[in-house]
Every structure is written in C-alpha cells, then in structure tokens.
Structure 1
Amino acid sequence: MREVLYEQHGPVLLLTINREQAHNALNASVIQGIGDGVKSAAADPGIQAVVITGTGHKAFCAGADLKELDDISADDAHRNLNVGQEAFRAIETSGIPVITAVNGLALGGGFELVLASTFPVLSTRASLGLPEASLGLIPGYGGTQRLPRAIGAATAAHLMLTGARLSANRAYELGLTPVEPVDPESLLTEAMACAERIAAQGPRAVQFILECLNASRDTPLGTGLRLETRLAATAAGGSESTEGIRAFFEKRSPDFLQAAEPKIDGEK
C-alpha cells in the first residue's frame, strides 16, 4: 500500500497521507513521499500549487511514528531528524504554494508539517499541538522555531511546555490560518478552491512572493527590501506581467500559460 497518494487536479497536486490506521503518523516513507511530491510539483510547469491532507476524519497527522523512535540512539535520531528538517525546509522553500488541509489531529510532526506549509485550511474538528515534552522529547522538525514566529513566543512556549492543544477556532484567532475553519465535509473543497485561486495568478509572481516571504523570516529588513526590489523589477520586465496588464485593459482573463516563463530552482 502506498503511504502517500498523488492525484493531479488540473494545476493542483493533491498529496494524501495514507496511513489511517496509524493516524497518518510520519515515518521515513511518508516524509520521503511528501518531499518527492512537492519537488516534482515544483519542477512541473503544469502544476502551480499543492494541497496536503490525510486519509479519514480523525487525524491529519498525529506526529512521528513512535515505533521508529523506540530505543533509538542519539546518533540515529540525529540522522533521522536531519532528513525531516531538510524535507520540511524544502517544502517551505520550494517556490510553489503548499496548503495543508487539516481534517483532524495535527500533533507533533503533523503540526510541524502545517507550520512548514504556506498556510493551512482547518476543519472545525482540527486540533493542533506539540505534546513532545510529555514523552520526554522536544519538537524536532522545526516546531520550536516556526511556532513562535507564527503565534508569538509566550503562546508557543505555553503550548510546548504544557502540551496544550489549539482548537481550530483558537488557531484562527491567533492568525495561524487565514481561513475561518470549515465544516469537515467542506474542508477539501475549500482547500482545493484556495489552491486553484492561487494557480490562476501569475506563476512567476507567486514564486517571487514566496521568495520574499521566506526572506522576511530569515533576513534583516534592508536585505529583504533589496530582494523585493530586484524581484519586482524582474516581474515588471517579464512576459507574464505584459500578459497580465494587457488582459486587464482588454477586460479578459490573463493566459499566463501562454506567457509562461521557466520556474527558478528553489533554495537548496
């Protein structure tokens, strides 16, 4: 049985974690499958966005597969964590939008996958948390770094130190998701609609915006502004913007595929 399913829906690639009996827990195969799917999408000019979800209704992803952590050595754990860190960072810097459709529990590594995505869409049943400390562990796929940046240091500290969970509504109040939580039956429809709307924008413009957003997390303001100026000028001088502006004046939808320019490789 494939543990990550791939389905292309026009310009959107849907990735589904297919381990429902294990609450869609992350193992090496799942991490590899998600990473490969996002990399493939980023290299395919026919795909402009990715949606990641989990099978069933109970769990999006309940975290790392504890069977792989049982009695592991520190050296082996370090190697495994590096693989996960690199995979999640690759998602974040792939140059293509990645939306997580969270249909239930998103705990530990599952929450960290959400944090590495461009943004999540949450079911009203979603519940998010980093409970690693209750097992004598700490988050290892970026949670200690991305969560404070997303919701503030104090709230992040409380969640990690107590193991408390965020409801979907509380996550929305904190700005963790820009989309008001939706009924479980509508989740995938809403997430795919978001992805399709992004896919209708200028692909190069979307890629440049993502690059600027990543820079805003990692670089001083001055450096980020210089990057924005360079990419904004490149966009203004490209065939994609020519098509977009002409379509605006001609009162029609732009045909960005006709004006397609090659994707730029994401950060390594």
Structure 2
Amino acid sequence: MNYQALFEQIKKKKSFLCVGLDSDVKKIPSHLLKTEDPVFEFNKAIVDATAEFTVAYKPNIAFYECLGAKGWISLEKTANYIKEKYPEVFLIADAKRGDIGNTSKMYASAFLENMPFDSITVAPYMGEDSVTPFLEYDNKWVILLALTSNKGAFDLQFFEQNNQRLFERVLEKSQEWGTKENMMYVVGATKAEMLGDIRKIAPDHFLLVPGVGAQGGSLQEVAKYGMNSACGLLVNSSRGIIFADSSEKFAEVAKEESKKLQEEMEQLLKEKSLI
C-alpha cells in the first residue's frame, strides 16, 4: 500500500484508527478458551466487529511468540484472514526488530515476504544497515521508533547534544534511508505536545501514535499537533477496544468503542477540511 492509497482509505472510512491486537490469552473471554485456537477466534471476532471503522490493525508480536509455535500459527492465521477479507486494511507487524544487516534481512523476509504484513516496527539504535533491509520491498513500510510513550523514553530519547535531542537525530538521519512513501515514525500519544517539534523535522511522514485510551493520551491533542495535509496519523488503541468487555458480548462492545473513536476522528478530519 502506498502513501496515497493509505490517505484514500482514511478519507473513505473517515477514520485514522489503528486497532492493536495485543491479544493476551490470559485476558480474552473465557468462553473462547474452549475453541481450537482461542487467540485467532478472538482476533477474528474483533476484526469483523471493528473493520468498518478501522484503517489499520497492529498485532503485537510478543503476545503471539510467547505462546511458541501455536502462537505463530495464530498470528499467521490472523494476518491472512485480515488481508483476505479486508484487503484495504493496512497491516502492521509490531515486532520492533532491528539487527545487523543479514539478520535484519531475515526478519524482513519473515514479516514482509512470508506473511502479508504491509509494515513492521523497527528499532533504529543500530543504525542504517540494520534498517535498510526492511526498505527493500515495494509498497512495504518501516515504522521507526522515534519517541515512545513509556516512562523509560526519558532515559535515552531526550539525551541532548549540540542542541539536538536523540529522537530528533533519529528523525533527521533516517530520512536519508527512506522517504514518506516507505517510512513512518512511532510517536507516543502521551507526548502529544512534542508532535509540533516532530513535524518541524518530518512534516510529511505518517506517524503511528500509540497511547490513546488506556494509556491516557488525548486524541484531540494528537490531531492538533500532529495532523498534516494528508492526515499523516495512524492512532492506535489496543486495550481500550479489544478488552473493553470480557463477556460473550466483547465484540459488540469493541465495535461500540471503535465507533466512538471513529466519530471523533471524523470530526477532526472535517475540522482540517480533509473530508
């Protein structure tokens, strides 16, 4: 999926919602535990309930690989199901990979070649040769960690030298490796006020913004500081949607929660005259 196609989906669905499939088997409704593949059945129900309001899904790979081989099967089934039934959806492997070049090639092949993901999150700490193997696939994206929403972000990401913070260095340097057509950045919603500084360095790139909902980030603040002329945002909500209810009505409640966010997003898009 290219930049324009993603923007067209945002306009069509009047939404820039990404639903995070952090599908913790310990939290999914108990009645699903009787099925052959509880994680897949949970994901399938969530996706079917929320797809009309959603432009992206983001399985967090840790919740699958912790289950061993059966977790990888659930992940692959989920990815294939989404792409077969909802091919317009942007699919993110939240894997946070990044290693020396030949290892990154293998990670890239795993997610961007052997599974139908459109993108993968990548840690930039090892530099250019750890990132560029992920950029070798047409119409696939790297989503580079820039400024994260966790408390520990202050340990390194705000380190300053020569009047430049480390996350700003990441944004600046990485634009030598990729373009707005194949690189996005992760920017936490809990640091929404920093989006203004980020937009000075990367005005046109899409930003994947986690932290709205359970982590307390403000959608209005994210849009105020981060939205650009092509929207330029994918705002993720995970627990606030997928675990909003633990009864047999969990999918219905997930639908209601995703619809609420979509309606807010529609209003924000209208205020920016993007729809």
User: Is the structural similarity TM-score above 0.5?
Assistant: no
| Higher RCO, 1 vs 2 (CA within 8 Å, ≥6 residues apart) | 2
The alignment's TM-score, normalised by the length of structure 1, stands at 0.30
The alignment's TM-score, normalised by the length of structure 2, stands at 0.30
